[in-house]
Amino acid sequence: MEIYRISCYVMFVMMLISGVLLIVFPRLRHRENFYMKMLNNLNVGFFSGLMVSFSVALVSYFYARENFLSALFQQSRYIYLSLEDIESELQKSSSKSPALVNLKAISAPSEAIRNDAKSINFLAFSPFFRNSEMALQVKTLQVLYAKFEKYPTFFTRMEFLQSERIAAQNNYDTTALNTIDGQIASFSANLRKEVKEDMTTLHSFIGKLKEENSDRYIPWENFKAVSIAKEPEK
């Protein structure tokens, strides 16, 4: 996308220069001179070629931009569904006991999030206007996706606390057990809050892109069914 964007800029500037020359040449004092006519004819051909090149570069740019946004749109939805699974599991544990967080149930979606996040190359996105709404939103997602790549490590702390809880339970250390339960409850609550914030950011992007391209992306309500259908049988 970067090469097409730069090509558009270069072609546009050269078209302006060539266009100015097309206006200036017929008004020159020696316009009937053989060499001046030849230069003018060359410039006409040059201008026509620039128009074609500019059109090709512009179409190629928007094609690459659409491919990038489409991939980001789909991966963001898959990540959103994985976040939903994690949030649901954390909610179940909070309604019972934070110490009973099922790490195995969280491990699979967190790994899926990391793999989906790694599939997007944000360096490929090169907007014409760096401060446009879409460019700023993609920049926000870039930071979020960098975080998603480290998602499985977020649960290492929870795994450590649960192992500490088992040790305290085996030693019948009530004081340590209560302390660890409090730490697990606090960590689980903060993690759930963070997951919800990530889901909100993703949902905002998905909704914005869906609104702008309603005919290109499958409806949100149909996406989960399609995602489930694509999952390999266990």
Share of the chain above pLDDT 90, in %: 3
**Rounded CA gap, 134 and 125, in Å?**
11
Q: At residue 151, does pLDDT exceed 60?
A: yes
Is there a contact between 151 and 114 (Cβ–Cβ < 8 Å)?
A: yes
For the chain, domain boundaries: 64-230
Predicted model pTM: 0.71
Per-residue pLDDT, 56:
92
Rounded to the nearest 10 degrees, the angle between the axes of helix 133-148 and helix 34-96 is: 50
Q: Mean per-residue pLDDT for 161-176? A: 78
Structure tokens at 111: 């790994």
Q: What secondary structure does DSSP assign to 114-149, as a single string?
A: HHHHHT--GGG---S-TTSHHHHHHHHHHHHHHHHT
Q: Please, which pLDDT band fits residue 228 given cuts at 50, 70 and 90?
A: very low
Cα→Cα distances 68→200, 216, 227, Å: 21, 13, 20
